[in-house]
Amino acid sequence: MTRSRVLPYLLIGPATVFLVLLFVVPLVQTIALAFTDNGEASLTNFRKMVGDLNFGLSISNTFLLVLAVIPLQLCLALTMAMMVQKLDKGRDLVLWIMIIPLGISDLAAGLVWLTILQDRGYFNTVLNMLGLIDGPVNWLSYESPVSLFVGVMLAEIWRATAIVVVILISGLQLIPKEYSEAAEVFGASSWTRFRKITLPLLKPSIQSALILRTVLAFEVFAVVYALSGRNFPVLVGEAYAWQHVNQNNGVAAAYAILVMVISLAATLVYIRTLRTPPEMQS
Amino acid sequence: MAGITIDRIEKKFGAVTALQQLSLKVEDGEFIALLGPSGCGKTTLLRIIAGLESQTSGRVLIGERDVSALPPRQRGLAMVFQNYAVFPHMTVYENVAFGLRMKGASDAEVKKQVERAAGLLHIEPYLERYPAKLSGGQRQRVAVARALAVEPAVLLMDEPLSNLDALLRLEMRSELKAVLASSGTTTVYVTHDQTEAMGLADRIAVMHKGVIEQIDRPQALYERPATRFVGGFVGSPPMNFIDLPVADGTARLGGFSSPVPLRNGTVTAGIRAEDIDVAEDGGLPFDVGVCEPLGATLLLTGRIDGQLARVSVRPDSRVRPGDRLGLTPNAGRIVWIDPADGKAMGAAA
Ligand SMILES: Nc1ncnc2c1ncn2[C@@H]1O[C@H](COP(=O)(O)OP(=O)(O)OP(=O)(O)O)[C@@H](O)[C@H]1O
Ligand SMILES: [Mg+2]
C-alpha cells in the first residue's frame, strides 16, 4: 500500500529535479529581476513597462493575433485532419507535405513570407501581372496596419497549423471507427457524426493542441520581427527590445513574467472548459 | 414490408475472398440466424447488409428497394455491433436514445421508448451512468437496447448475447424472441452458438468459408444436414460420421447392414448420438472409452472400428469404460454422405 503510493513519486523524481534545475531556478531569478530595482524590492520595472508607449499596443496586438489565429487554425487543422483521415492511398505523402512548415524555424518562416509580401515580392509581382496594381504596394508598413496584421496572421497560420494537424490526426486514430459507424447506422448525417461523435471523443486531443498552440502564440516574436521589425509590437518583441535595445533587463523580465501569467491563465481556462471526466473516456 | 434479398454478393479483401457469390432471402418479419465458425464471413455479410462495407459485386434489396449503393443511414435498419460500439461520452440513457433523437422524436417519445427498451434488457438501474462504468455484459445490453429503441423494420445483430452469463443469456434469448416476434421485425442474427441459433431462429443459415452451406428450419437442419460440415456443426454432441464399406448397394460393418444409395465403395453414415439403440452385442461394434454423465443423459465416447463415435444413453445405464456394446442406428434417421464431397446423398435406392 505505502510502497505503491510512493512509487509514482519516485518515478517522477528525476524529471522533477531536471525541471527544477533548468526551469524553476531561472524562473525565480527572472521573478527576482522583475520585482527589484537596484537590489531593492520595487515595482519600478512594471511601472516602466506599463508606462511605455508600446505597452498597450503590444498587448492588444498579441491578443488580437491569438484570437484571430487560434480559432482559424483549429478549424483549418480539423478540416485537414478529417480529410487526411479519409484518404486511403497517398496518406503518408500528404501528411509529409503538410508538416513541412514544422521543420522550418519561425524566423525562416517569417523570411519566407517577407519575400512573398515585401514591396518587390511575389505577391506584388502577381498582382502587377494581373493588372490589379500599378506600382509596388507596401503591405507591411505601419501605415497599413490591416494588411500588416493579415500578413503576420497568414505567416503564423502557415507555420504552425501543421503541429495542430499532427496532434489531431493522432487523436483521430485513437477513436475506433465503430462509433462513427454505429452513429451512421442509426441515421446520423456526416455533419452530425462529426459534431456528436468525433468532436467530443477528440476533445482531449483538441485540448492538448489548443494549450500548446495558444502558449506558443502568446510568445509569437520571430515571424512578426521578420515581417515588420517593430512596426507591429508584440509582447515578446517588446521584451527583446528592452533587453537588447534599451539594455534594461528588469523591464524585459517584467514582460517575461507578464507573458507567463497570460499563458498560464489561458492554459487554466482550457483545462477547465475542455475537461473530459474519466468516466466519459473510451 | 422489409424482407431482405441478398443477391449473389461477393466480397474480396485484397486476395482474401470473404464471401463467395452468396445469396439469401429473408422474408418480412422472419428471424434468420447466421451460424458459422469464426472467420466464415458472418460479420462481413452483416456489414454489407448495413452498408458499412461495400460489396465487390452483387446486390442487396430491402423490401423492394435496391439499397446496394445507399449509405447506411438511408437503409432504415438498426444494428448491434459485435464489439458493442456504445458511445463512451454519452450516458446509457443518451446511448439508447441516440437513434430516436436522430429521427427527431419528441422528448416524451424518447423517454417512453428508452424506458421500454431499458426494461426489456434490465438496464434501468444504469441509465444515468457512463458506459466506462459498466461491465461487458451490461454494455452489450445497452447496445441491444439502443437498437430495439428505434423499433426498426430490419434488425441486424452480431453476437448480441455473447458476453452474458448462461442464465441471463437464456432469459434475454426468450425475451428477444418474444419482442421481435410481436413487433414483426425482420431479424438477421449472427452467432456461432448453435443452441442459440436453434432456439431463436425461424430458419438458420449455416455459413462456412464464405458460402451458405444450408438454410432451413432448425429441426430440419438438425435432422437432415445437407453436408457433413452442417451435421458436425449443428447439434451437441456433433453428429457421428462413420465410414462404412459398401458392396452391391449394401453397407456392412460387424453385425450391421443397410441398403445405401451407392453400388460399391465407401459411404459415410451420419448418425446422431441419440438415434442409436444400444445392446449387449449385434450391430456396430462400439468400444467405450469415456463415460460422461450429463444429467439428462449419459454420453459415451468411444470407437467403432477405430472411428470416433458418441452415443447418448439413459443416465441409469450401467456402462463402463472398456465395455464393448452393439449399436443399432435408427435406420430412418441415418444421413448417407458421399465421403468424396461431404454432401448428403438422396434417400436409399
Ligand atoms: N477489413 C478486413 N480486411 C481484410 N480481411 C478482412 C477484413 N474484415 C474481415 N476480413 C476477413 O474476412 C473473413 C471473414 O471475417 P468476418 O469478420 O466476417 O468473420 P466472422 O464470421 O464474423 O468471424 P467471428 O465469428 O470471429 O466474428 C476473415 O477471414 C477475415 O480475416
Ligand atoms: Mg464476427
Rounded average pLDDT per 10-residue block, chain B, 349 residues: 90 94 94 94 95 95 93 94 94 96 95 94 94 91 95 94 88 89 92 90 95 95 94 92 93 90 91 92 91 93 94 91 92 92 72
Report pLDDT for B112: 96
Report pLDDT for A97: 86
Q: What number of other Cβ atoms are within 10 A of residue A205's Cβ?
A: 20
Q: Is A227 left (phi over 0), alpha (psi -120 to 50) or beta?
A: alpha
Q: What is d(CA B271, CA B273) in angstroms, rounded to the nearest whole number?
A: 6
Task: Note the Cα A158 to chain centre separation in Å.
Answer: 12
Question: Counting beta carbons within 10 angstroms of the beta carbon of residue A135, is it exposed (0 to 12), middle (13 to 18) or buried (19 or more)?
Answer: exposed
Nearest to A282 among B77, B79, B88 (CB): B88
Structural domain includes residue A75? yes
Report pLDDT for A88: 82
Structural domain includes residue A41? no
- Residues A222, A106: contact at Cβ < 8 Å? yes
Among B17, B19, B34, B40, residue to substitute to test ligand 1 (most atoms within 8 Å of Cβ): B40
Measured from the CA of B37, which atom of ligand 1 is nearest?
25
Structural domain includes residue A46? no
Measured from the CA of B14, which atom of ligand 1 is nearest?
4
Helix (H) or strand (E) holding B270: strand B265-271
Q: Which residues of A touch B (CB under 8 A)?
A: 176, 178-179, 181-189, 192, 197, 200-201, 276-282
Structural domain includes residue A27? no
Direct distance between the N- and C-terminal alpha carbons of chain A, in angstroms, rounded to an integer: 28
Report pLDDT for B92: 96
Assigned fold of B230-337: OB fold (Dihydrolipoamide Acetyltransferase, E2P) (2.40.50)
Q: Which residues contact B193 (CB under 8 A, 6 or more apart)?
A: B162
DSSP state letters, A140-172: TSTT-HHHHHHHHHHHHHHHHHHHHHHHHHHHH
- Residues B287, B303: contact at Cβ < 8 Å? yes
DSSP 8-state symbol, B334 = P
Among B16, B19, B159, residue to substitute to test ligand 1 (most atoms within 8 Å of Cβ): B16
Structural domain includes residue A34? no
Q: Do B88 and A201 touch (CB under 8 A)?
A: yes
Report pLDDT for B56: 95
Structural domain includes residue A222? yes
Q: Which three cell numbers stand for residue B239?
A: 453428429
Find, in chain A, the residue whose alpha carbon is nearest to that of B97: A186
Structural domain includes residue A156? yes
* Chain region(s) in chain B for CATH 2.40.50.140: 230-337
Find, in chain A, the residue whose alpha carbon is nearest to that of B75: A185
Report pLDDT for A105: 85
Name the minimum distance, in Å, from the CA of A275 to any CA of chain B. Answer: 12
Picking from B4, B65, B16, B74, the residue whose alpha carbon sits closest to that of residue B40 is B16
Contacts 24+ apart (CB under 8 A), A139-143: A140/A114, A140/A227, A140/A228, A140/A231, A141/A231, A142/A228, A142/A231, A142/A232
Q: Looking at residue A69, which CATH number applies to its domain?
A: 1.10.3720.10
CA–centroid distance, residue B159 to ligand 2 (Å) = 8
Report pLDDT for B276: 93
Q: What is d(CA B8, CA B121) in angstroms, rounded to the nearest whole number?
A: 36
- Residues A34, A253: contact at Cβ < 8 Å? yes
Separation in Å, CA B63 to CA A161, A211, A228, B28: 49, 52, 68, 8
E-strand ranges in B100-247 read 154-158, 186-191, 203-208, 211-216, 240-247
- Residues A220, A153: contact at Cβ < 8 Å? no
Name the minimum distance, in Å, from the CA of B52 to any CA of chain A. Answer: 7
Report pLDDT for B33: 95
Picking from A148, A166, A149, A139, the residue whose alpha carbon sits closest to that of residue A73 is A166
Name the minimum distance, in Å, from the CA of B14 to any CA of chain A. Answer: 14
Residue A243 domain boundaries: 55-280
Please state the ipTM of this predicted complex: 0.85
Q: Which ligand is nearest to the CA of B19?
A: 1
Nearest-CA residue for atom 3 of ligand 1: B13
Q: What is d(CA A21, CA B138) in angstroms, rounded to the nearest whole number?
A: 50
Q: Total domain count for chain A?
A: 1
Bridge partners (DSSP) listed for residue A187: none
Q: Please give all residues whose beta carbon lies within 6 A of any atom in ligand 1, as ranges.
A: B 13, 16, 18, 36, 38-44, 82, 192
Rounded average pLDDT per 10-residue block, chain A, 282 residues: 80 91 91 88 90 92 95 95 88 85 86 89 89 84 86 90 92 93 95 95 94 93 89 92 90 94 94 86 70
- Residues B42, B207: contact at Cβ < 8 Å? yes
Question: Which CATH code, of 3.40.50.300, 3.10.560.10, 3.40.50.170, 3.40.640.10, is assigned to B4-227?
Answer: 3.40.50.300
Q: Do B78 and A185 touch (CB under 8 A)?
A: yes
Structural domain includes residue A21? no
Q: What number of other Cβ atoms are within 10 A of residue B25's Cβ?
A: 13
- Residues A68, A200: contact at Cβ < 8 Å? no
Name the minimum distance, in Å, from the CA of A186 to any CA of chain B. Answer: 5
Nearest to B89 among A178, A192, A201 (CB): A201
